[in-house]
Amino acid sequence: MEGQGLINLRRILNFRIFLMYSTKEKSIFLVFIGWILFMVSTFLYSKIVKEVYPALVMPTFKGVLLKNDKITISEFKINIYFANHDSMIVERDYIFDQLHGREYIVYNYNYLLTKAIVEDATNSSNEDQIKLKQFKQYFIQKIQSKTGRMDATQLILFKYKKVFDLEQNAFISKICSNKRVFELSL
C-alpha cells in the first residue's frame, strides 16, 4: 500500500517537469516555497500567542471578576476596555505628548494591569506584581511632573467619564459586551 501511495504522490507531483527547469529557476521556486511556509508559520505562531493564550486566560478573568462583589459589571466592562485598548488612557493625551516612547508605556501598562487584575483576584503574587507597582509609581510620577495637577486616578476617572458619556448612548456598552469584538481587540 505504501509503495502504491508513493507512486500516486509521484504521479501527482510529477517532478520531471520541475527537474527540467534551470538551476536558478529551481532555486527561486524553492525560495518562494520556503518564504510561503515561513509566512504561514509565523502567522500561525502569532495567532497562537495572541488568541489561543488569551482565550485560555480570559474566561478565568471574566469569571473571577463577575464573582467578585467589589467589581460591578460596568466596571468590568470598563476594565476590559481599559485593559485592551492601548490608547484609551494616555496614548494621544497631551500629557504624554513629549514623553519618549509613550505607546510602549501604555501597552506595557495594559499588559501588566490585565495580569495584575487576574492575579490580585486569585491572591497570587509574582514578579509582575512588583513590576506593576514600580510602573504605577513611574506612571504617577511622570504625570505629576508633566502636569503638576492631576494624579493617575483622576486621569483615569476623567477618561472613564468619557466612556460613560458614550455608554449612555448605548454605543460602548454594545461594543464592550460583544465578546467577538472584544476578542478581536486582543
Binding site for another protein (CB under 8 A): 11-18, 21, 25, 28-29, 31-32, 35-36, 39, 43, 47, 49, 85-88, 91-94, 97-98, 100-101, 103-108, 110-111, 131, 134-135, 138, 162-163, 166, 171-172, 174-175, 178, 180-181, 183-185
Q: How far is the CB of 153 from another protein (least distance, A)?
A: 19
Nearer to another protein, 86 or 120 (CB): 86
Alpha helices by DSSP H, listed for 86-178, are: 102-121, 127-147, 152-168, 172-177
- CA terminus-to-terminus distance, the chain: 47
Q: How far is the CB of 67 from another protein (least distance, A)?
A: 26
Q: How far is the CB of 3 from another protein (least distance, A)?
A: 20
Nearest to 163 by CA among 87, 92, 78, 76: 78
Place of cell 456598552: 173
At residue 97, φ and ψ (nearest 5 deg) are: -55, -40
Q: Tell me how far apart the alpha carbons of residues 156 and 131 are, in angstroms, rounded to a whole number.
A: 20
Nearer to another protein, 74 or 185 (CB): 185
